[in-house]
């Protein structure tokens, strides 16, 4: 995307065999999405107010104030330029700094939209859209995060005053972690146990004002603050994750989000037609967005590692000629190219998940709740799979960049520090896999009942065939047949689920069995989720994809993704009898040949992400590949190099050195 200057990667770019501009459109999702993204990325990159290369040098207070400044300036630009919702979201994305706005737009607004009645939406959403109030999502407590039903905060109905009394009865009931809560939010959707007439009706959401809209002071009964520094120096510390306690705080009855359950003026609790699980709906929405974020974070790390691997040379000089580019080492390719393929795979599965979410939302509006369990299982499972893979991949990219990857200026340490909590927030990844496993066990148990599995489990309707089929691959080329690959993944996923179900049936108490077998169940869930990613990639290839060579590149990447998984999880495929050792070896041979096909296109494939140097924030990943002079110049800018002799020399170095001199003289 960058222009001007000498292009040290020009030769690499000439090697590519496909239309990069068309691939940019495929990556963005549509021509419109590409144009918006491209325009907004340039806008951010060219505005010095969005500078971010100094983040690691700021103290926590300076860092946080700087984030407030950027968020306020971004809001001003959004208003001045009359940006659409889509453009505004892109602007926040390219500013590339976790902030309270993520939670305001990403969770507070969706919670009101999903769980509020029409009337509540009409009252609160306009205020939130104009940012006249700023909100957060206050669910997790000091004592409970995963176990939402274990939350302790109470909301007790007082029929005399028509209010709820929100209270934190124990230390462990303190809200703990919500982003934007610590220093910014004026309001929260706070989750608390609904108590009416002494009866506990489980956890529900309540809109609670936390701070005065005049002077930002906490309202009476509210204790609120930041929970302290998190992993890494800059990174996620731009966010004010907070602690919050309620001391009998009173809110009007109509501030309970009442789409799922209503409490009347008389104190009657009325369940609507909407299923209880909708209280968890905001999490379904956010998990879906996190899958798309995974492809962004992964593609970013891969872009840095790929460009640098083409610039970096090590060993292999022949007759004084240049040394080997490290990207030409087969080991480098076998570590890097599967990550490149994963970035594309996650992009496409993210697109599909967005479609699934939109579809389920439309059905919910028409009171059709039938696809909610499928949406929950897919969002939970894919969130878990893609974030775990991306977190591991960012670290792998750091190692792929050798020593320089460890420098902050590579951009990788900060990306890693910002990214890894995605494995925990919005549902711990193991806890989420176990949700998928429950869904799978339910589906398997119904297989004989005549109920046809649909959606992501539709393959289970061919259980009879998949349980005994044998893979037909006999030659290396057979592993380039989508049907062969898909069937191997389907058979593996089904057989692992069925094996778990058979083992579960040996327990007289199913919950005890589930706990005992949970490690196997999590593996079965992973196999199922990997199948979804592979099948959505294959489906993508069935679409009409214009552009010279574009589809062919995607085909290559699809097989790299699938066959690398097959190689990595050979144990599963072999032990379930889905493939033979000979077929595993043929698949690996095919994979090696695919790496050679990716090699000349690698730089163009990462160029297709269309990232600006500003967004990448990496000296190693610069578009022009001009790495060494920039690294060298940057080093001198470190504050430690402000003086030649360091502060502290006279107090702490000189006396030691003099001491050595005296000892030597003795």
Ligand X SMILES: Cc1cc2nc3c(=O)[nH]c(=O)nc-3n(C[C@H](O)[C@H](O)[C@H](O)COP(=O)(O)OP(=O)(O)OC[C@H]3O[C@@H](n4cnc5c(N)ncnc54)[C@H](O)[C@@H]3O)c2cc1C
Ligand Y SMILES: CCCCCCCCCCCCCCCCCC(=O)SCCNC(=O)CCNC(=O)[C@H](O)C(C)(C)COP(=O)(O)OP(=O)(O)OC[C@H]1O[C@@H](n2cnc3c(N)ncnc32)[C@H](O)[C@@H]1OP(=O)(O)O
Contact residues for ligand Y, defined by CB under 6 A:
96-98, 102, 137, 139-140, 145-149, 179, 277, 280, 283-284, 372-373, 376, 414-415, 418, 425-427, 431, 435, 438
Q: How far is the CB of 410 from ligand Y (least distance, A)?
A: 12
Q: Among ligand Y, ligand X, none, what does residue 280 contact (CB within 5–8 Å per kind)?
A: ligand Y
Q: Shortest Cβ contact with ligand X: which residue?
A: 145
Q: Among ligand Y, ligand X, none, what does residue 22 contact (CB within 5–8 Å per kind)?
A: none
With H, G, I as helix, E, B as strand and everything else as coil, classify residue 541: helix
> CA 511 to CA 399: how far, in whole Å?
42
Count of residues near ligand X by CB under 6 A: 23
Q: How far is the CB of 246 from ligand Y (least distance, A)?
A: 18
Residue 103 or 364: the one with the smaller Cβ distance to ligand X is 103
Q: How far is the CB of 585 from ligand Y (least distance, A)?
A: 40
Q: How far is the CB of 315 from ligand Y (least distance, A)?
A: 32
Separation of CA 237 from chain center: 18
Q: Contact at 8 Å (CB) between 238 and 97?
A: yes
Of 63, 374, 391, nearest to 240 by C-alpha is 63
Token reading at 33? 């999405």
Site for ligand X in 559-618 (CB under 6 A): none
Residue 26 or 74: the one with the smaller Cβ distance to ligand Y is 74
With H, G, I as helix, E, B as strand and everything else as coil, classify residue 200: strand
Residue 38 or 428: the one with the smaller Cβ distance to ligand X is 428
With H, G, I as helix, E, B as strand and everything else as coil, classify residue 243: strand
- Cα separations in angstroms, 277 against 137, 191, 280, 369, 524: 17, 14, 5, 10, 24
Only one of the segments 162-170, 423-431, 440-448, 658-666 lies at the binding site for ligand X (rule: CB under 6 A); that segment is 423-431
Of these, 16, 115, 120, 140, which contacts ligand X (CB under 6 A)? 140
Of these, 205, 427, 617, 621, which contacts ligand X (CB under 6 A)? 427
Of these, 54, 132, 146, 264, which contacts ligand X (CB under 6 A)? 146
Residue with tokens 């009325």: 270
**Site string (151-180) toward ligand X, x via CB under 6 A:** --------------------------xxx-
Residue 105 or 595: the one with the smaller Cβ distance to ligand X is 105
179 is in an annotated binding site: yes
Name beta bridge partners: 242.
226
Q: Which helix H or strand E contains 245, and what residues bound it?
A: strand 242-246
Residue 134 or 283: the one with the smaller Cβ distance to ligand Y is 283
Q: Among ligand Y, ligand X, none, what does residue 567 contact (CB within 5–8 Å per kind)?
A: none
| Sequence-ordered list of residues with C-beta below 8 angstroms from that of 348, at least 6 positions apart, any chain | 536, 537, 540
Q: Among ligand Y, ligand X, none, what does residue 595 contact (CB within 5–8 Å per kind)?
A: none
Residue 135 or 338: the one with the smaller Cβ distance to ligand X is 135
* Residue 241 interacting with ligand X (CB under 6 A): yes
> CA 581 to CA 574: how far, in whole Å?
7
* Residue 236 interacting with ligand X (CB under 6 A): yes
Q: Contact at 8 Å (CB) between 534 and 565?
A: yes
Q: Among ligand X, ligand Y, none, what does residue 241 contact (CB within 5–8 Å per kind)?
A: ligand X
Residue with tokens 């480098």: 332
Q: Among ligand X, ligand Y, none, what does residue 625 contact (CB within 5–8 Å per kind)?
A: none
**Nearest-5° Cα angle at 542, 605 to 28:** 40
Residue 376 or 551: the one with the smaller Cβ distance to ligand Y is 376
Of these, 262, 292, 430, 588, which contacts ligand X (CB under 6 A)? 430
Q: Among ligand X, ligand Y, none, what does residue 149 contact (CB within 5–8 Å per kind)?
A: ligand Y
Residue 116 or 234: the one with the smaller Cβ distance to ligand Y is 234
Residue 446 gets which letter from DSSP? Answer: T
* Residue 145 interacting with ligand X (CB under 6 A): yes
* Residue 428 interacting with ligand X (CB under 6 A): yes
140 is in an annotated binding site: yes
Q: Among ligand Y, ligand X, none, what does residue 60 contact (CB within 5–8 Å per kind)?
A: none
**Site string (504-523) toward ligand X, x via CB under 6 A:** --------------x-----
- Cα separations in angstroms, 260 against 209, 265, 293, 527: 22, 17, 29, 34
> CA 328 to CA 323: how far, in whole Å?
11
Q: How far is the CB of 522 from ligand Y (least distance, A)?
A: 13
Residue 230 or 363: the one with the smaller Cβ distance to ligand X is 230
Q: What residues are labeled active site?
A: 426
Q: How far is the CB of 524 from ligand X (least distance, A)?
A: 15
Burial code (b: 16+ CB inside 10 Å, e: under 16) for 483-515 equals ebbbbbbbbbbbbbbbbbbeebeeeeeeeebbe
With H, G, I as helix, E, B as strand and everything else as coil, classify residue 165: strand
Torsion of CA 217, 219, 221, 225, to 10 degrees: -40
Q: Contact at 8 Å (CB) between 522 and 515?
A: no
- Helices 518-541 and 330-365: crossing angle in degrees, nearest 10, is 90
> CA 358 to CA 294: how far, in whole Å?
19
Residue 29 or 143: the one with the smaller Cβ distance to ligand X is 143
Alpha helices in 547-626 (DSSP H): 550-568, 570-575, 581-598, 602-607, 613-616
Q: Three-state SS string across 94-146, please?
A: HHCCCCHHHHHHHHHHHHHHHHCCHHHHHHHHHHHHCCCCCEEEECCECCCCC
| Phi (first) and psi of residue 426, to 5 degrees | 60, 30
Of 491, 564, 560, nearest to 531 by C-alpha is 491
| Sequence-ordered list of residues with C-beta below 8 angstroms from that of 338, at least 6 positions apart, any chain | 560, 561, 564
Token reading at 273? 């037609």
Of these, 88, 103, 484, 608, which contacts ligand X (CB under 6 A)? 103
Q: How far is the CB of 67 from ligand Y (least distance, A)?
A: 11
Q: How far is the CB of 390 from ligand X (least distance, A)?
A: 15
Which runs of E-coded beta strand occur in 507-663? Answer: none
> CA 385 to CA 411: how far, in whole Å?
24
With H, G, I as helix, E, B as strand and everything else as coil, classify residue 353: helix
Q: Among ligand X, ligand Y, none, what does residue 607 contact (CB within 5–8 Å per kind)?
A: none
Q: Among ligand Y, ligand X, none, what does residue 430 contact (CB within 5–8 Å per kind)?
A: ligand X
Q: How far is the CB of 398 from ligand Y (least distance, A)?
A: 13
Q: How far is the CB of 138 from ligand X (least distance, A)?
A: 6
Dihedral (CA of 207, 212, 218, 220) sign:
negative
Annotated binding site for FAD: 140, 179
Q: Which residues bind ligand X (CB under 6 A)?
A: 103, 137-140, 144-146, 177-179, 236, 241, 421, 424-428, 430-431, 434, 518
Annotated binding site: 140, 179
């Amino acid at each position: 995307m960058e222009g001007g200057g000498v292009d040290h990667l020009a030769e690499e770019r000439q090697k590519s065999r496909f239309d990069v501009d068309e691939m940019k459109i495929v990556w963005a999702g549509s021509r419109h999405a590409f144009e918006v993204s491209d325009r907004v990325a340039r806008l951010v990159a060219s505005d010095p107010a969005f500078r971010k290369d100094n983040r690691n040098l700021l103290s926590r207070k300076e860092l946080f104030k700087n984030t407030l400044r950027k968020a306020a300036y971004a809001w001003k630009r959004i208003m001045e330029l009359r940006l659409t919702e889509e453009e505004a979201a892109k602007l926040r994305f390219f500013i590339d700094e976790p902030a309270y706005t993520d939670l305001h737009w990403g969770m507070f607004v969706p919670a009101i939209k999903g769980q509020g009645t029409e009337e509540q939406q009409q009252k609160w959403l306009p205020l939130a859209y104009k940012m006249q109030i700023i909100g957060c999502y206050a669910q997790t407590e000091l004592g409970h995060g995963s176990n939402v039903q274990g939350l302790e905060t109470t909301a007790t109905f007082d029929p005399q005053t028509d209010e709820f009394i929100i209270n934190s009865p124990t230390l462990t009931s303190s809200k703990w972690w919500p982003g934007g809560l610590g220093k910014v939010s004026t309001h929260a959707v706070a989750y608390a146990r609904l108590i009416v007439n002494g009866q506990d009706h489980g956890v529900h959401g309540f809109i609670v004002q936390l701070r005065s809209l005049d002077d930002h002071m906490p309202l009476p009964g509210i204790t609120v603050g930041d929970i302290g520094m998190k992993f890494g120096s800059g990174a996620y510390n731009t966010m004010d994750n907070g602690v919050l306690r309620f001391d009998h705080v009173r809110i009007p009855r109509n501030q309970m989000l009442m789409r799922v359950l209503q409490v009347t003026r008389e104190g009657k609790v009325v369940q609507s037609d909407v299923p209880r699980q909708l209280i968890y709906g905001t999490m379904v929405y956010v998990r879906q967005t996190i899958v798309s974020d995974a492809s962004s974070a992964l593609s970013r790390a891969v872009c840095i590692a790929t460009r640098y691997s083409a610039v970096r040379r090590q060993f292999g000089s022949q007759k004084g000629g240049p040394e080997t580019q490290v990207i030409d080492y087969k080991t480098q390719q076998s570590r890097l190219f599967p990550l490149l393929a994963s970035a594309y795979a996650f992009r496409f599965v993210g697109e599909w998940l967005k479609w699934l979410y939109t579809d389920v939302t439309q059905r919910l509006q028409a009171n059709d709740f039938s696809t909610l369990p499928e949406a929950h299982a897919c969002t939970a499972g894919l969130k878990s799979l893609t974030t775990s893979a991306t977190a591991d991949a960012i670290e792998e990219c750091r190692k792929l960049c050798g020593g320089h990857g460890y420098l902050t200026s590579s951009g990788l340490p900060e990306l890693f520090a910002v990214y890894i909590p995605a494995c925990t927030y919005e549902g711990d990844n193991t806890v989420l896999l176990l949700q998928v496993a429950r869904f799978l066990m339910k589906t398997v148990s119904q297989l004989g009942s005549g109920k046809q599995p649909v959606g992501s489990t539709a393959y289970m309707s061919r259980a009879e065939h998949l349980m005994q089929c044998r893979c037909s691959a006999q030659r290396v080329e057979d592993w380039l047949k989508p049907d062969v690959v898909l069937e191997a993944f389907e058979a593996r996923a089904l057989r692992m689920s069925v094996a778990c179900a058979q083992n579960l049936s040996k327990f007289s108490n199913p919950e005890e069995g589930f706990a005992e077998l949970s490690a196997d169940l999590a593996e079965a869930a992973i196999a199922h989720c990997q199948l979804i990613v592979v099948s959505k990639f294959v489906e993508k290839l069935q679409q009409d994809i214009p552009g010279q060579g574009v589809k062919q590149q995607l085909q290559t990447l699809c097989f790299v993704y699938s066959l690398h998984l097959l190689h990595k999880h050979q144990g599963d495929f072999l032990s379930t009898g889905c493939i033979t050792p000979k077929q595993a070896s043929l698949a690996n041979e095919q994979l090696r040949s695919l790496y050679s096909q990716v090699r000349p296109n690698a730089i163009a494939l990462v160029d297709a992400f269309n990232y600006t140097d500003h967004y990448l924030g990496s000296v190693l990943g610069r578009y022009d590949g001009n790495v060494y002079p920039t690294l060298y110049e940057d080093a001198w800018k470190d504050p430690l190099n402000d003086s030649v002799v360091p502060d502290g020399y006279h107090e702490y170095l000189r006396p030691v050195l003099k001491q050595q001199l005296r000892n030597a003289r003795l």
